[in-house]
Amino acid sequence: MTITATRPHVALSARALLACGAVSGPLYFLTSLTQAAVRDGFDLTKHPASMLSNGDAGWIQVTNFLVTGVLMIAGAIGLSRTLEPGRGSTWGPRLLGAFGVSLLFAAVFKADPGNGFPAGSGPAAISTAGILHMAAGSVGFLSLIVATFVFASRFSREGHRGWAVYSRATGIAFFAAFATMSSGNANAVVMLAFWAAVMLAWGWVTAVILRTTR
């Protein structure tokens, strides 16, 4: 009797957690792109979103990292509770949770200013906080990339070929964009490709969570 009574509550709780994960990506990009459009000196062809944490209005992006990080972790917990046992049911949610944790670290350790943002900023020495920010971002992005392949394997095993291809393509595109930007060749095309790849990857997270919710 007790078990039967708690099942609806567990299901409702899991769906609420999944909903948190589903809105994390759209919220992150709505907040980031709005700031990119109005903040003086910010240029999508020169600057990653993390640089928005600098300047007088930097607290907005710091809050964005914190909120979306918590939402992403909640979504990962929701996935861990709802995915049926099988390939990827353990490590898929864990990797997405690691991505969420990296966003919290990105909020605590801000990216260094430079390259004209905030307005007037020039080249600056890399700070300890900047190094930790880059490390957190690298771990988070790599976790997200690996997650795409983990879920691709699960979808393939379940016979969902379209989802498997979508997952692998997302991981490959994101890895290529991230590796190119990290190599130091961050020209306008590379930066725009990186922005697009991050949107693609986070859109994939939203799609997978919505699929699980249904």
Distance in angstroms (rounded) separating the CA atoms of residues 31 and 35? 6
Higher pLDDT, 17 or 115: 17
pLDDT tens string 34-72 = 999 999 999 999 999 999 999 999 999 999 999 999 999
Residues in the chain: 214
Kindly state the DSSP code that residue 79 receives in the 8-state scheme.
H
From 42-51, 76-85, 117-126, 148-157, the region with the lowest mean pLDDT: 117-126
pLDDT band at 7 (very low <50, low <70, confident <90, very high): very low
- Looking at residue 35, its pLDDT comes to 96
